[in-house]
Chains A and B, each alone.
Chain A
Amino acid sequence: MSYALIVGEVRRGIFEERNLDTIGISSLLGKETCLLIPDNAYTISEKQVDTIIKVKTDEEAFLNPLNLVGIVEQAMNTYGKPDFVLFTHSSSGMESAAYLSGSFGLPLITDVSGYDKDTGAFYKSYYSDKIFGEFRCVGQAPYVLTVRSGSFKEFVAEKAAFPKIEFIENVAVNTSRTFIEYVEEEKTEIDITKAEFLLSVGRGIGNKDEIPNYEELAGLLRAVLSGSRPVIDKMWLPKPRQVGTSGKTVKPKVYLAMGISGAFQHIAGMKDSDCIIAVNKDAGAPIFQYAHYGIVADMHKVRDKLKEMVKG
């Protein structure tokens, strides 16, 4: 059978929406789709795949790359070698895909966001989306891919029949890495996901001392101040103010992004905003591909002028 093995991403009982992108690329590749997930009650639109292999293990053990390599090996021994093993490009997929590639010497392309049916090339971002590489695998299949969220879900196709259900019963649990617990983010008074208007600042702000100036502008505009990863990493704004995949996903009426270049992890957290206005010095910044309105300018000058006009 010519098939793609999809490692389902599940977290705390939820079948992540990102899985639609691995299912989508599998159809685009023209492969039978075989989904590997823990044996748990997930909400899955079942006609999207041909086979579901349910693994008798808990979610945390399943997501552990040290165990997952053994689980994939069992699946390959039982059902034959797939042409592809597909992961989401996420905190879980990124680590397990690499560990799988290293364990069996398999070709690996990560963060795949496009596929050309005619040439068989996979597109992968370089330099924060300023350039893409067209890659092909030259080693032995199965090829391991991690797939960028939002890139392939449009290719998900309804199957004629309900999937076949199979089980993997005995899973060897590795003890050299073990799950202890989930740690939740502390709750704060301001919830940026509830804001109708977000003023968001990024790397371009340059300096911690500038933060109060943007707080002032946000106050004048009655917006809430948020930030992208570089600002949070430097602890210039608290973690609950982070927009992006590792922070919050927001959908305000207006998202005013200043000095944010637009790494895809950030874009994924704000792209569904009603109106995105981006201010950036770099005319080539990827955020201009996603914004509704763009301004190529020094963010500080725009800030000062806006303040002056609003106070005016």
Chain B
Amino acid sequence: MNILVFTKRVPATQEEELRILGDGKEVDLSKLPFKVNDWDNYAVEEAVRIAEKTGGTVTAISIGDAESDEVLRRAIAMGVKDGFLIEVEKVLQDPYARAMLAYNFLKKENIPFDTILTGVQSEDDQFASVGGILAALLKVPYSSMVIGIDNIDKDHLVLRRELEGGLQERAKVILPCVLSIQSGINEPRYVSIMGVRKASKVERKIFKAKDYEENMSSLIEVVKWVYPPKKGGATMLSGELEEICKQILGIIKEKGVYQ
């Protein structure tokens, strides 16, 4: 089975204060560390596992700037055979434009696939859409939120989708198809710095996005960036640790759940 897996380099924003620049024109990402999108890490792992089981190869594709090579090296260190970077000059906010770019690329370069995997969403923009749009453009079936692949056959997969409230749906999907992979589907293997360094010896191919721009106009655009609306907000407890903990215990006693 030939598998393509999309992987994205994203800023690590947990525990970071984000600043908006120029009256809402831009979010300042310059001081943030970057990492692989968490969901893509699970997708890469799943792709490698399927290939290990069924034979065939996995190719990782990243749409991003030159720095995105980092997540391709990481994917190769996890067992992916090839890495393709589709280098864009500026961030494409519109998921439709991104999916169209991927579609044009796959068509023009005539890249064969049985399955395309993406993460459910990326941590930065949380659109959760590129895989579904790409599937529709390719006119192949799609399933999002894949939390388990139970059976792999020559012409189809049996998989489980995560729904709400702990419920799952088992479905049969004919190949070729596009799947978006939910976090928790597997335990991604550990990647050492040595492993990534070794992976840099494997050649990654670089393609320029401007060669694949047919029908790629954005259908939505950002007007500006804003900080989240302030809700009521919490009463902040401060002071010495002991004082804070005394207050916590006071609150839970008052609520009658602890004596």
Contact = CB atoms under 8 A, between A and B. Distances in A.
B240 to A, nearest CB: 10
B235 interface: yes
Contacts of A110: 95, 126-129
Interface in A114-142: 114, 119, 121, 123-139
Interface stretch (B59-67, B133-141, B200-208): B133-141
A94 B128 contact: yes
B107 to A, nearest CB: 14
A163 interface: no
Contacts of A302: 241, 244-245, 248
A253 B132 contact: no
B246 A95 contact: no
B136 A136 contact: no
A91 B27 contact: no
A184 interface: yes
B228 interface: yes
A51 interface: no
Given A99-B136, A110-B129, A232-B184, A222 B173 contact: no
Contact of A97 (B16, B129, B171): B129
Given A183-B169, A221-B252, A221-B258, A106 B228 contact: no
Contact of A95 (B96, B143, B165): B143
Given A98-B136, A222-B257, A293-B235, A177 B143 contact: yes
A69 to B, nearest CB: 7
A266 to B, nearest CB: 13
Nearest to B235: A293
Contact of A229 (B169, B183, B220): B183
Q: Tell me which of A109, A127, A176 has the highest count of chain B C-beta atoms within 10 A of its own C-beta.
A: A127
B96 A288 contact: no
A278 B96 contact: no
Nearest to B164: A245
Contact of B18 (A131, A275, A293, A301): A131
Interface stretch (A26-34, A38-46, A74-82, A304-312): A304-312
A124 to B, nearest CB: 8
Nearest to B134: A102
A182 B234 contact: no
Contact of B219 (A137, A246, A277, A310): A137
Contacts of B174: 175-177
A166 interface: no
B131 A98 contact: yes
Contacts of B22: none
A229 B226 contact: no
A294 B223 contact: no
Interface string A157-189: 000000000000000001111111111110000
Given A127-B13, A277-B251, A292-B235, A183 B221 contact: no
Given A176-B174, A233-B183, A182 B169 contact: yes
B223 A108 contact: no
B8 interface: no
Nearest first, the 8 closest Cβ-Cβ pairs linking A and B are A98-B132, A102-B136, A139-B219, A294-B234, A233-B184, A102-B133, A107-B219, A185-B166
Interface of A: 11, 65-66, 69, 90-92, 94-103, 105-111, 114, 119, 121, 123-139, 174-185, 196-197, 203, 221-223, 229-230, 232-235, 239-240, 242, 245-249, 252-254, 256, 261, 274-278, 281-284, 286, 288-297, 301-302, 305-306, 309-310
Given A133-B222, A177-B142, A246-B165, 11 more contacts: A102-B134, A110-B95, A130-B13, A131-B228, A133-B226, A139-B96, A177-B143, A197-B258, A289-B231, A305-B241, A306-B245
Interface of B: 11, 13-18, 20, 24, 27, 93, 95-96, 99, 123-137, 140-145, 158, 160-174, 177, 180, 183-184, 187, 215, 217-238, 241-242, 244-249, 251-252, 255-258
9 contacts: A11-B167, A126-B125, A134-B226, A135-B222, A179-B169, A197-B252, A246-B165, A288-B236, A289-B232
